[in-house]
Structure 1
Amino acid sequence: MTDFLAALLLGIIEGITEFLPISSTGHLLVAERWLGHRSDLFNIAIQAGAILAVVLIYRDRLWQLLQSFLRPAGAATVFGQAPRDYAYKLATAFGVTAVLGLGVKKLGWELDDAVAPIAWALILGGAWMLLAEHFAARHAARLGERSTITWTVAVLVGVAQVLAGVFPGTSRSAATIFAALLLGVTNRAAATEFAFLVGIPTMFAATAYELLELYRDGGIAGEDWGMLAVAFTASAVTAFAAVKWLLHYIQSHRFTVFALYRFVLGAALLLLVPAG
């Protein structure tokens, strides 16, 4: 396989899996075993492409949140909440992630990227998703549809992002969406939007941090910038399409299909482990 095609495929895989609740890290770690390991800068580039796609999708919401500080009077609500209050909760979730994430980084807490732990994370994550859907349905039946993001939800979504970073295969989007669902946000669209919006500064910060470390270590020299451009573009385009599809899908469907996919993929990987 040519380097061009491998870069294209890895960009597509990142774009599809970064914001769907199926784990981009898990898919990329497995894909690289067939397509070849890529540099840290390559991984940063495809992640940046996915972030750009979500920024473009939520550009109106981001502008609304910014305007709530510039022109607070008469601002439209965000799922029934004042935009400024919603923005403060996004900032809280990001702050929790930043503080805990730096602590985890300093302590060196990181799991091995072997296939077996990823497979188990996929399976356990699928069970977590089904559990969250079950309790969300019970909450909705008892209390009605709830879209409000509480301070508790904001804090624990931040914690969930850190846990997803420690355990490859968990999926940042799955951890955050289903943390919100378990805590009583029964509106799937509200839980998903909050998870994606808090993911924007989180992923930007993580990308900038990794890029700075790479620059300091001299890891930027010798890169094939053409391949980076191909992978970045593929990731951005496919992430845009994947998120647009997901936002439409969850209007009338549960996340059950993603849980089942995780079970199947996790079981398949466990079967492949003995054979290498």
Structure 2
Amino acid sequence: MSDPISALLLGIIEGLTEFLPVSSTGHLLIAQHWLGARSDFFNIVIQAGAIVAITLVFRQRIWGLTTGLRQRENRDYAMKIAAAFLTTALLGLPVRMAGWELPETVSPVAWALIIGGIWMIVAERLSERRTGVAEVTWTVALLVGVAQVVAGVFPGTSRSAAAIFIAMLAGLSKRSAATEFVFLVGIPTMFAASAYAFLELWLDQGLGEEAWGDVALAFVAAMVTGFIVVKWLLGFIKQHRFTGFALYRIALGAGLLLLMPSGT
């Protein structure tokens, strides 16, 4: 397969999976087994494309929050986003510096997909039995921050899935409210993570020669695909559960373990 087509497909996969509760890291790892491994810089850039996509989707909400901070409701919501982000940063930075992360091989990703799928089904059922609140609480905000760190340690977990379902279990009753908050927290979190990864790469002199046309193509593909997927998902969850995504994760994880039992 030619490099431009491979880059295009990887960008589309990143856009499709970054915000769905199915794990973009896991899907990119699996895809690169067949499409060819790419540089860390390439992976950072396509994630940046997905970040731009979600920023565009929520541009009006972000503008309303930033220009309406005099209103108590907006100020409170923005402070909770900041609290979730700072929790992730304060816990995640030492974890990252210590190198606490599972190897990005197929077996741990497959198990994370399966366990995460089961967790989604159980968590959604448990949250539906509880009498929750419609607004984000401080407890929800802090737990979302912790969930993002856990997802970063276990490739295949899915940042969005871990955070959305911990928010629902913590009492946020509406799937749409939990998803919106997690996505808004994800914007500064992903920007910071990408910037940190880029800085590490630059300091290690890992910015070698790149096929800039391929990088640009993948960036645009991730951005366009991510925008479409987020818009679709926000409408979908108003009427549907996450069960379909959970079953997909379990089936994919089981298939990987059967097809690639050695994990390579």
Matches within 5 A, 1:139-178: 139=130, 143=131, 146-178=133-165
Paired residue for 2:221? 234
Residue 11 of structure 2 contacts residue 46 of structure 2 at CA under 8 Å; is this kept in 1? yes
Paired residue for 2:239? 252
Give 5+ residue unaligned stretches, structure 2. none
TM-score, with length taken from structure 2: 0.97
Q: Secondary structure at the match of 1:106?
A: helix
Q: Does 1:130 align with 2:89?
A: no
Residue 143 of structure 2 contacts residue 166 of structure 2 at CA under 8 Å; is this kept in 1? yes
Q: Secondary structure at the match of 1:113?
A: coil
- Between the aligned partners of 1:260 and 1:120, the Cα distance in structure 2 is 14
Q: Does 1:194 align with 2:181?
A: yes
Paired residue for 2:201? 214
Q: Secondary structure at the match of 1:265?
A: helix
| Alignment deviations for residues 76-98 of structure 1 (CA, whole Å, 9 cap, x no partner) | xxxxxx11001000000000000
**Deviation of the 1:146 alpha carbon:** 2.7
- Between the aligned partners of 2:128 and 2:199, the Cα distance in structure 1 is 44
- Between the aligned partners of 2:96 and 2:133, the Cα distance in structure 1 is 35
- Between the aligned partners of 1:210 and 1:136, the Cα distance in structure 2 is 35
- Between the aligned partners of 1:112 and 1:214, the Cα distance in structure 2 is 19
Matches within 5 A, 1:1-276: 1-69=1-69, 72-73=70-71, 82-139=73-130, 143=131, 146-274=133-261, 276=264
1:98–1:64 Cα change, 3 Å: same
Q: Secondary structure at the match of 2:155?
A: coil
Residue 147 of structure 1 contacts residue 191 of structure 1 at CA under 8 Å; is this kept in 2? no
Amino acid at match of 1:189: S
Paired residue for 1:78? none
| Alignment deviations for residues 179-238 of structure 1 (CA, whole Å, 9 cap, x no partner) | 101111110000000000000000000111111121222222311111110000000000
**Deviation of the 1:272 alpha carbon:** 1.2
Q: Size of the alignment, in residue pairs?
A: 263
Stretch moving more, 108-117 or 157-166: 108-117
| Alignment deviations for residues 107-139 of structure 1 (CA, whole Å, 9 cap, x no partner) | 210101111111110011011111111112112
- Between the aligned partners of 2:213 and 2:77, the Cα distance in structure 1 is 40
- Between the aligned partners of 1:257 and 1:242, the Cα distance in structure 2 is 15
| Alignment deviations for residues 30-82 of structure 1 (CA, whole Å, 9 cap, x no partner) | 1110011100110001000000000000001101110123xx15x7xxxxxx1
Residue 11 of structure 2 contacts residue 221 of structure 2 at CA under 8 Å; is this kept in 1? yes
Stretch moving more, 16-25 or 204-213: 204-213
TM-score, with length taken from structure 1: 0.93
Amino acid at match of 1:163: V
Amino acid at match of 2:98: L
Identity %: 62
**Deviation of the 1:106 alpha carbon:** 2.1
- Between the aligned partners of 1:236 and 1:150, the Cα distance in structure 2 is 31
- Between the aligned partners of 2:122 and 2:208, the Cα distance in structure 1 is 47
| Alignment deviations for residues 223-256 of structure 1 (CA, whole Å, 9 cap, x no partner) | 1111110000000000011111110100100000
Give 5+ residue unaligned stretches, structure 1. 76-81
Amino acid at match of 2:76: D
Residue 107 of structure 2 contacts residue 261 of structure 2 at CA under 8 Å; is this kept in 1? no
Residue 84 of structure 2 contacts residue 144 of structure 2 at CA under 8 Å; is this kept in 1? yes
Amino acid at match of 1:98: A
